[in-house]
C-alpha cells in the first residue's frame, strides 16, 4: 500500500481515494484510528494522510499509535482538517510533514503526495 487515508467522512474518503487511485497510488482507507492501526499492522504504508478529528483519537494521537508499529516509525504524514491553519496549530505536532485544509484542493494534494512518494515517476490523471 502506498497511502493509508484515515478520515471518518465517507465523502472525503471517496473523493481522495478515487483521485489518488486514478493517479496510480494504492490507497487503504480507515474511518477510525483503531482500523488504521489494524491495516498498518498488515503492511506499512509509504505515507499517512490523517484527519485531525477522528471518532476514537485525534490526529496526533493516531499518528503516534501508528508510528509505534513495525516499519511505520519514519513514514511521512500529512494532516488534513476543516480547521484553518491558525486554529489547527494547537493540535498539530512536528510529526506531520504537511497540513492541508478541507475542502482539499486536489492539485495541492497531488503535488504534496508526489513530493513524498514519486520516485522519478510521472503520474497524471487520465
Domain boundaries in the chain? Answer: 3-117
Classify domain 3-117 by CATH number: 3.40.50.2300
Is the pTM higher than 0.85? The answer reads yes
Whether the predicted pLDDT of 126 surpasses 90: no
CA separation for the pair 89, 87 (Å, rounded): 6
Q: pLDDT, tens digit, for every residue of 41-70? A: 999 999 999 999 899 998 999 999 999 999
Whether the predicted pLDDT of 114 surpasses 80: yes
Q: What are phi and psi of 53, to 5 degrees?
A: -125, 100
Q: pLDDT, tens digit, for every residue of 79-94? A: 998 876 665 665 666 7
Q: Which residue has the higher pLDDT, 113 or 101?
A: 113
Amino acid at each position: 500500500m502506498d497511502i493509508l487515508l484515515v478520515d471518518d467522512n465517507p465523502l472525503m474518503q471517496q473523493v481522495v481515494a478515487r483521485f489518488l487511485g486514478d493517479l496510480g497510488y494504492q490507497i487503504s482507507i480507515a474511518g477510525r484510528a483503531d482500523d488504521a492501526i489494524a491495516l498498518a499492522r498488515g503492511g506499512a504504508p509509504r505515507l499517512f494522510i490523517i484527519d485531525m478529528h477522528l471518532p476514537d483519537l485525534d490526529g496526533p494521537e493516531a499518528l503516534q499509535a501508528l508510528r509505534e508499529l513495525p516499519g511505520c516509525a519514519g513514514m511521512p504524514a500529512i494532516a488534513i482538517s476543516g480547521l484553518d491553519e491558525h486554529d489547527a496549530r494547537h493540535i498539530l505536532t512536528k510529526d506531520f510533514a504537511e497540513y492541508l485544509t478541507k475542502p482539499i484542493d486536489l492539485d495541492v494534494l497531488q503535488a504534496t503526495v508526489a513530493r513524498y512518494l514519486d520516485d522519478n515517476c510521472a503520474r497524471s490523471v487520465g
